[in-house]
Chains A and B, each alone.
Chain A
């Protein structure tokens, strides 16, 4: 299965490891994420300024996917949100679609509304399926105290994103459970990281991030796991800048990096050390937490016997 891989602007420039690890993981399941140089910005940075200018780039991206006859696989939550918003708006507003198509026609593109947009997590969860993923996993990551943050724009508003339950999302938790991880329940899971305010109101942006870090720390998190590029950059990059919460730096991982480890991919291929908050101790700890499922079964049996 081949998808047109939509990485947005931040990921190739600042979080390349996210794209590389996702591609490596998907390849394990026979899914190819093809890079498309013609894709441009999703429009998100323009949304505060002008709504129409915000919608046009996503319309072009979808038109390119239609021309390639490929579904779009997105890894950035905000890009996903923008594409889905454009899809909905253009389905509702025929006049706007015609207006936009007039601009697109100059470069031989048309948006007809058939483009499919999928978050890579949906591809993992719904298309590949938990059963197949579990079969492929070579290791489990048990006893790893981590918190997971979903990112706002992939969940809300639900009628636009159509991704998961916006109040009780389960996709990521079930993926983590496949890997043997029971993420710690914490207040920040569905909350904001403050990223959207960076550079517009830094003080508030940092304050919100600090609240999340404090909550993660209080929940006893050894790691924070992200799937959104804005969340990731806030937690990884900005956390270091503001010195963490109470001067404790919590290392940040990307979900496909964890999945890659469990699939037996090399830590270097997943570029875990490219995460700014991750040091050698963290990767050693992660490597030590990787357990062979057979071993685990024996261990569990032993435990049960002892209990009996």
Chain B
């Protein structure tokens, strides 16, 4: 009775959670260009898209996806056998346990069988599936513990999920073992279903002790072969066998009785059975409630994401559905870290120690942004840097086991954050090249660039702003001395394709290449680092190659760029 109340409460909470998560798919945004679209319009787009697929030949792709992506989990299989085995064990173990054990009465009825949990096949398969699932959990824990060196991050929720599933299984086995070994339970059953003489009762108990793992500390009878044979006869003739197959079928629980029996006896075996039952059912209900609010939601969203990926392949024509897909994708992330392991930018993570450079970590916080949570400014800044330090190699999208289109999520969220006017110095790196090729969000990109250039001009002096004549200064210099060998022949400036692209190069570039080197010669580092020229350098190395005195111009420009970005990041003023 009381279980029904708890179950109903948990079920309702789960439902509410699911509704909230579903509503996020159509109401939240991480795309700066699609901020104002009403959820009804988004739901309608999704519905239209769905209809268009269902009534076309693409329906075959859905069928294919059901078998290949969902049941066989090919995307995991292609990448790592260990991960595939792990996931398959947990997935199949848990699903089969759910159908044959949790709702076994219902499943069995479907096939016209009576469900009795202490008879075969239930007794046997429950232990088989439980073992498979537990093996998967152990493999997953092993993988997470082992893979620290490959930058895989373990979040609290990852451990919680594994712990919940693991504890459900362990408590289940313990509960079964406690029931098997409990003398109180045994005696109650004998009272109810049997009517034995003393000798017979003793023989039956002896049989149950040796065969079924019963723990009877006060048993005074003998355990010889004859008694046990008599017990077995009674077991088979009486009503026991109708409901009890040999507990040896439940191979895990039966072997646990040796330890569980004595321990539960100390605590009180009847009480222990109740406690374990409450624990087991409580954990199951906890998982049910936790499901929609955690990464376990992937049970629902990952299949949808996988089907969309198989059906739509690349991009979706309707940008509104593209956004819907992004939000479904975000909710399908399991934080498995497959993307992070193969991320091309992983070494930049080692240099910057910014977790957000790793794709799996970006997704965790983008999820938070999408669910409407406000992140502290420092976190936002790190997230933005992480989003920007990405080579757009698209490997993460290729390998994501949930089929999430990370490429488009990262692209639009990058600009979603840039729209909020945070300055991002990595814009001045060649990470911008693939973005310029993609040509999306061009206005936001340009605006963000202007912000950085503005900051840059504020921090460094320009030739125009100098009122005093240029003089020697003891200002710190950069660690190359090749600039001192310049004899101002201006070969660099004459050959520079950038200088040659402007009608008034000095006006547009601040300083010309030879003037930068000259400034450095005078110790005017800030002046050199403040010229627009360094940001307009195409790094073609023509100047450096043609310099008759081996001044490493292009390399010096790189150093100046590094220095300027460093200063801006450190918020220093000159």
Quick check: is B285 within 8 A (CB to CB) of the other chain? Answer: no
A52, A103, A107, A204: the one within 8 Å of B501 (CB): A204
Chain A window 1-41, contacts with chain B (Cβ cutoff 8 Å), 1 for yes, 0 for no: 00000000110111000000000000000000000010011
The answer to whether B439 and A192 touch across the interface, beta carbons within 8 angstroms, is: no
- Decide if A49 touches B540 in the complex (CB within 8 Å): no
B539 touching A196, Cβ below 8 Å: yes
Are the CB atoms of A197 and B542 closer together than 8 Å? no
The docked-state distance in angstroms from the alpha carbon of A305 to that of B44 is 77
In whole angstroms, how far apart are the Cα atoms of A10 and B437 in the complex? 11
Write the nearest CB–CB distance from A150 to chain B, whole angstroms. 11
Determine whether the beta carbon of B545 is less than 8 Å from that of A166. yes
User: Given A156-B544, A157-B545, A199-B436, is A40 in contact with B344 using a C-beta cutoff of 8 Å?
Assistant: yes
With CB as the reference atom, state the residue of chain A lying closest to B439. A241
A201 at the binding interface (Cβ < 8 Å)? yes
Determine if A181 is an interface residue (Cβ-Cβ < 8 Å).
Answer: no
> When chains A and B are docked, how far (Å) is the Cα of A150 from the Cα of B539?
15
Residue of A nearest to B554 (CB): A157
B239: Cβ under 8 A from any A Cβ: no
Indicate whether A142 reaches chain B with its CB closer than 8 angstroms: no
**B429: A residues at CB distance < 8 A:** 45-49
State the total of A-B contacts with C-beta under 8 angstroms: 167
User: Considering the complex, which residues of chain B in the window 528-574 have a beta carbon less than 8 Å from any beta carbon of chain A?
Assistant: 535-536, 538-542, 544-545, 552, 554-555, 558-559, 561-562, 565-566
A9:B558 contact, CB within 8 angstroms:
no
B565 — nearest CB in chain A belongs to which residue? Answer: A49
* Closest B residue to A212 using CB positions: B497
Scoring A residues 48 to 91 as 1 if CB is less than 8 Å from chain B, else 0, what string do you get?
11111100110010000000000000000000000000000000
Is there an interface contact between A41 and B432, defined as CB atoms closer than 8 Å? no
Most central of B343, B389, B428, B562 by chain A CB within 10 Å: B562
Residue among B345, B352, B429 with max Cβ neighbours from chain A (10 Å): B429
CB distance from B395 to the nearest CB of A (A): 8
CB < 8 Å neighbour of B558 from A51, A205, A207, A233: A51
Interface check B158, CB cutoff 8 A? no
Q: Name which of B343, B351, B562 has the most chain A CB atoms within 10 A of its CB.
A: B351
Q: Confirm or deny: A200 has a beta carbon within 8 angstroms of a beta carbon on chain B.
A: yes
Bound-state CA distance A60–B149 (Å) is 14
Contact of A53 among B348, B430, B435, B498 (CB under 8 A): B348
CB-CB under 8 A from B446, the residues of chain A are 202
B501 touches A211 (CB 8 A): yes
**Contact (Cβ within 8 A) B449 A200:** yes
With contacts A46-B429, A51-B562, A199-B432 known, is A208 near B538, CB below 8 A?
Answer: yes
Decide yes or no: A200 and B391 within 8 Å by CB, A14-B437, A48-B562, A50-B351 being known contacts. no
Cα–Cα distance between A277 and B393 once the two chains are bound (Å): 22
Q: Is A198 at the interface (CB under 8 A from chain B)? A: yes
Query: Known contacts A45-B429, A53-B351, A53-B352: does B535 contact A200 (CB below 8 Å)?
Result: yes
In the bound complex, CA of A201 to CA of B537 (Å): 10
Does B437 contact A41, Cβ atoms closer than 8 Å? no
B459 contacts the other chain (Cβ, under 8 Å)?
no
Asked if B426 is at the interface of the complex by the 8 Å CB criterion, the answer is yes
> Is A51 a contact partner of B559 (Cβ separation < 8 A)?
yes
A196–B430 contact, CB under 8 A?
yes
CB B387 to nearest CB in A, in angstroms, measures 14
Chain A residues numbered 146-199 whose CB sits less than 8 Å from any CB in chain B: 152-153, 155-158, 166-167, 190-192, 194-199
A94 interface contact, C-beta 8 A: no
Which chain B residues numbered 322 to 364 have a C-beta less than 8 Å away from chain A?
Answer: 342-348, 350-352
Contact with B along A221-259 (1 / 0, CB 8 A): 000000000100100011001000000000000000000
Any chain A CB within 8 A of the CB of B433? Answer: yes
B346 touches A207 (CB 8 A): no
Instruction: Give the distance in Å from the alpha carbon of A199 to the alpha carbon of B426 in the complex.
Output: 11
A-chain residues with CB within 8 Å of residue B428 when the two chains form the complex:
48-49, 200
Residue of A44, A48, A158 ringed by the most chain B CB atoms within 10 A: A48
Docked Cα-Cα span, A168 to B394, in Å, equals 37
In whole Å, how far is A210's beta carbon from the nearest beta carbon of chain B? 9
Residues from chain A with Cβ under 8 Å of B539 in the complex: 47, 152-153, 196
The residues in A between 86 and 144 inclusive whose CB is less than 8 angstroms from any CB of B are 103, 106-108
Given the interface pairs A47-B558, A48-B430, the reply to whether A238 lies near B540 with Cβ below 8 Å is no
Pair A192/B497 contact, Cβ less than 8 Å: yes
Closest to A38 in B: B342
Of B343, B445, B542, which is in contact with the most chain A CB atoms at under 10 Å from its CB? B542
On whether A45 and B347 interact (CB within 8 A), knowing A196-B538, A200-B535, A204-B536, the answer reads no
**From A58, which residue of chain B is reached at the shortest CB distance?**
B347
Nearest A residue (CB) for B501: A207
Q: Does A43 lie at the interface of the complex (its beta carbon under 8 Å from any beta carbon of B)?
A: yes
Q: Is B53 an interface residue (CB 8 A)?
A: no
Q: Which of B150, B433, B436 has the most CB of A within 10 A?
A: B433
Report the count of interface residues on A (CB-CB < 8 A): 56
Given contacts A48-B562, A49-B426, A107-B149, contact A192 B542 (CB under 8 A): yes
Quick one: closest B residue to A210, CB to CB?
Answer: B501
Beyond A40-B343, A48-B565, A211-B501, is A198–B433 a contact (Cβ under 8 Å)? yes
Q: Across the two chains, which residue of chain B brings its CB closest to A166?
A: B545
Asked if B392 lies at the interface with its beta carbon under 8 angstroms from chain A, I say yes
Q: Cα distance A238–B562 when bound, in Å?
A: 28
* B residues in contact with A107, CB < 8 Å: 149-150
* Inter-subunit contact A9/B562 (CB<8 Å): no
State in angstroms the CA–CA spacing of A148 and B391 once bound together.
27
Nearest B-chain residue to A201, judged by Cβ: B536
Say if the beta carbon of B524 comes within 8 Å of chain A.
no
Q: Given A152-B539, A191-B540, A200-B535, does the pair A50, B437 have CB atoms closer than 8 Å? A: no
Residues A48 and B558 in contact in the complex (CB < 8 Å), given A166-B545, A191-B540, A200-B449 = yes
Q: List residues of chain B with CB within 8 A of the CB of A57.
A: 347-348
Shortest A151–chain B CB gap in Å is 9
**Which positions 435-474 of chain B face chain A at CB distance < 8 Å?**
435-437, 439, 445-446, 449
A156 vs B435: C-alpha distance in the bound complex, in angstroms? 26
Say yes or no: B434 contacts A14, CB within 8 Å. Answer: yes
Give per-residue flags for B359-388: 1 if the beta carbon is below 8 A from chain A beta carbons, else 0.
Answer: 000000000000000000000000000000
List chain B residues, Cβ under 8 A from A237.
Answer: 437
Rounded to whole angstroms, the CA-CA distance of A122 and B194 in the bound complex is: 90
Q: Compute how far the CA of A200 lies from the CA of B430 in the bound complex, rounded to whole angstroms.
A: 8
Q: Which residues of B contact A53 (CB under 8 A)?
A: 347-348, 351-352
Contacts of B434 in A (CB 8 A): 9-10, 13-14, 199
Q: Is B320 in contact with chain A by the CB < 8 A criterion?
A: no
B73 within 8 A of A: no
Q: Is the CB of A233 within 8 A of B540?
A: no
Residues of B within 8 A of A47 (CB): 429-430, 539, 558
Inter-chain CA distance A70–B538, complex, in Å, is 33
Distance in angstroms from A270 CB to nearest chain B CB is 22
* Contact across chains for B345 and A152 when beta carbons are under 8 A apart: no
Contacts of A37 in B (CB 8 A): 342
User: In the complex, how many angstroms separate the beta carbon of A296 from the nearest chain B beta carbon?
Assistant: 38
Q: Identify 23 residue pairs between A and B in the complex whose beta-carbon atoms are under 8 Å apart, listed by A's number.
A: A9-B434, A41-B348, A46-B429, A47-B539, A48-B428, A48-B430, A48-B562, A49-B565, A56-B348, A152-B542, A157-B544, A190-B542, A191-B540, A196-B539, A196-B540, A198-B437, A199-B427, A200-B535, A202-B436, A204-B498, A204-B501, A204-B536, A211-B497
Q: What 18 additional pairs, Cβ within 8 angstroms, besides A49-B426, A197-B538, A208-B498? A: A40-B345, A45-B429, A47-B429, A48-B428, A50-B351, A50-B562, A51-B562, A56-B350, A103-B350, A153-B541, A157-B552, A194-B538, A199-B431, A199-B432, A199-B436, A201-B536, A208-B538, A233-B437
